[in-house]
Structure 1
Amino acid sequence: MPRAILPAFVLFFLLSVMSAGSEPEKPSGTPPAQQPIERLLPSPVLRVGMPRQELEEVIRSSYPNWERSEKKRVLNNRKDMSLSPEARSAYLQTISIYREDKEQNLILRYRFALTSPLTESYVYSIVYRVEANTSNLISIDDWANGLHSRWGDEHGGTRSDAKARATYFFDAEWRVVENAGNKCAPIYPAFYRLDEKTIGEVAAVSSLLDATGCTFSRDSILKIKEGAVVQSTFYTVDFRLQVNDVLKRVAFGLQ
């Protein structure tokens, strides 16, 4: 597949927090186990599209000793609108869990973004961060080869002495999108502050997803210090879940 590099200003939007249920994630071409990249990927028991209740059960059973924090968001976040009191109420939008692994000298963090109760609270974004206190997390070659063995050439990316990044896009069946670097690029500026936009603007973003077929993304970002990878952040996002939710949120409680 030709490699298409996304413009830097477009990739910026991937890091913005984007605000039912999609089909369960379908892994594609799972490579042999125990590759170095695996320690930087989220657990397979955690997936976008899982309902909040299932997420809570997984956290209780698999991460019982991790510290937890939460953030809420206003149900209808549009500005300068006449809204009902219900529309101004807050819902649980983000669950974060954290653990310091002293044996491996690692700090591990998960952040899960949820749709609102209007679409039954599904996970639409998972961010997994691994930070090393004393050691190199992975070599750049192992990182690049590990990602390539799963999903081929990245659709966008950067390489520098301080940072490495690779981005992939997938359709609704978790198939890699052809020519996604160009096709999916308009999604990111369209998603910026999405829940403050009008109903028509959000509907246009929904149509954009239909036209491009870009439903999911994965984004791996490494922080490099003095030649060593000291931090890895891996993003998994379900664009369709987010848009479906925001369409209901921006219309809810209008007066």
Structure 2
Amino acid sequence: MAKEYDIAYTTLERWYYLMTAEDVKARIRSAKRICIDEFALRKGHYYAIAALDADTGQVLYIETGRNKETVESVLNVIGQKAQTIITDTAAFMAKAIRTVMPKAEHVLDRFHLIQFCTEALRRRRKYLIEAKSHFKSRFIDRCLSIPPEDLTEEEQGFVRDWLEEDWHTKALYYFLQHVRFVLKSTQPVQAKRRFDELIQRFSFHNCGAVAKIIKTYIQRYQAFLDTITSSYSNGIMEGTNNKIKLIKRRGYGYRNEQNLFHRICLETGPHEFW
């Protein structure tokens, strides 16, 4: 278009971003359920926080940084009508939400809640005899992390042998299944009863890893309960992070971060502007 109308492409670019700015701002004002996550802008621990509309998949706002102050700044911009905030289990995000939007429902990503247990199992796996082989290690990780009903009879037999071999692995494995059982609750009363039973059973467990995980859950008690009964998760944000990587790769060498952020906002979610 710049060549056809004999206009400098930089001028056309400036007009484009000015014209679409209002469209992005209008979407920010209407968001009620928001996902927040960080992504790497470039190598060297240089991150940005992105806020996404959980209903439409539209990235609403991005700000550089990876701390409590950055999340607070993002919430102040897009959180006027927000009723639900979905994040991972990072402590600084929880603190920022309590500071800026104490009345909003804070939902944690289920994947990260389960990941506490699966990562503990992965670290403990090295004490198993069969874990000496690299191939066997990956097989053990898979069998211990997925639900028992999804395993074949042969794989279930392997799991039984590993649990008999190491007591700590057995404790972590049954704790993981109990957490999955709690997350299957459908009613608030049922969720609270099951979560309280989980806390009562494992709070002072002899396995240090289990006790540490349950302590983390207790610190996020209300957020955990909201997560159980909520239909929202941070999964849509993880998919959007992959799209952001593609946009960064296509725009390699971007010198203007604000234009990059603007481009990300325009290329995610519905495209009424086009």
| TM-score of the two chains, using structure 1 as the length reference | 0.27
Higher-RCO chain (CA-CA 8 Å, sequence separation at least 6): 1
* Higher fraction of strand: 1
* Higher fraction of helix: 2
- Structure ID, larger Rg: 2
